[in-house]
Homo-oligomer: A and B are copies of this chain.
Amino acid sequence: MKKQEKPPLRVDAARNREHVLAIARELMAQGDASLQLNQVARAAGVGVGTVYRHFPTRQALLEALVNEHLESLVVQARAAEAASEPRQGLHHFLRAVLKLQLADVGLAEVLSTQEDALPQTSKLKAELGVATQRLLARAHRAGAIRTDVGVDDVRRLICGVVHAVRIGGEPRAASERYLGILMSGMSAPTRRED
């Protein structure tokens, strides 16, 4: 019911697809975040038609590039549940999210966007949401994080931190400091008995 029959790719098509992805990744790594499809085509030595066939939009190509990293975040979120301290688990995980977004402009873009071009991206985002939710709920139960901070708030706020780190002048270890500020801001106010 869910999945339509999907005829497997022809070998040359699969090869081209991978090649385009590799070249696109390279261009991104060289600091060109514009990811213009015609430019990717030229760099990959294929016709623009080929690129557009495999990735109908810039967004689709971007997501295809990024999904690997997204997957890694899902894994790390699940791993973070093993931490003895719920608060530390969350902190470590958010640090990973931050670092990866800083290293991969595309990832930051995808995580800051609501609608996805690829179904797989939506699936991964949902998984990431669930895994994060578990981490967060644990921290809530431990009284470490304000209960009025939900999983979507965490996503948005960490994207905000990424933005803050990106736009700035002197680094001065901004990312670690800003993450600290966020964690401290999300902390439940220490209750004076009760």
| A contact residues vs B (CB 8 Å cutoff) | 112-114, 148-149, 152-153, 156-157, 159-165, 167-170, 174, 177-178, 180-187, 189
Give the copy number: 2
Closest to A180 in B: B185
**A185 neighbours in B (Cβ, 8 Å):** 180-186
CB A143 to nearest CB in B, in angstroms, measures 16
Closest to A183 in B: B185
**A162 neighbours in B (Cβ, 8 Å):** 160
Q: For the complex, what is the distance from the CA of A168 to the CA of B154, rounded to whole Å?
A: 10
**A186 neighbours in B (Cβ, 8 Å):** 181, 185
Q: Is the CB of B160 within 8 A of A156?
A: no
Q: Which of B113, B159, B174 contacts A153 (CB 8 A)?
A: B174
